[in-house]
Amino acid sequence: MNVSAVDSLLAQMRATASLAQGGAAPSSHSNPSAAAPDFSTLLKHSVDQIAQSQSQADFLTQQFTSGSSNVSLSDAMMAMQKATITLQTGIQIRNKVVTAYTDIMNMQV
């Protein structure tokens, strides 16, 4: 998951929390939906990115274990670590989204 997607997601969550607390929506000179993709697009892109990194790690690991001379141990290990970090980042973001959703749902109107 790239940093700009996380920043955009956090900005949307902050704006939603501000509106839920009775604050004003953040002002912007342009249409916010034109500037940033919607939540479902970000979520799908993030899940696809996690799946792609997992697939690449699996492929490189399989190539290395089968004795392919094109893939070194360091390539396979780096791909596996990158996939692990991507997955852990996705899990942490999911946890933050669930926490924010729970906080918003528990707010008194």
Token output for 9: 């997601």
Instruction: Yes or no: say if 73 and 64 are a contact pair by the CB < 8 Å rule.
Output: yes
Q: Which pLDDT belongs to residue 35? A: 63
Asked whether residue 29 carries a pLDDT value surpassing 50, the answer given is no
- The residues spanned by each domain of the chain are 3-19+37-106
φ, ψ (nearest 5 deg) of residue 76: -65, -45
Helices (H), 1-109: 3-20, 32-35, 39-65, 73-106
Instruction: Yes or no: say if 26 and 15 are a contact pair by the CB < 8 Å rule.
Output: yes
Which pTM does this prediction carry? Answer: 0.61
Q: How far apart are CA 57 and CA 45, in angstroms?
A: 18
Q: Which pLDDT belongs to residue 46? A: 87
Instruction: State the pLDDT confidence band at 38, using cuts at 50, 70 and 90.
Output: confident
Angle at which helices 39-65 and 3-20 cross, to 10° = 150
Q: How far apart are CA 82 and CA 35, in angstroms?
A: 29
Q: pLDDT digits over 43-90, tens only? A: 888 899 999 999 999 999 999 999 988 999 999 999 999 999 999 999
Asked whether residue 105 carries a pLDDT value surpassing 70, the answer given is yes
Q: Which pLDDT belongs to residue 33? A: 46
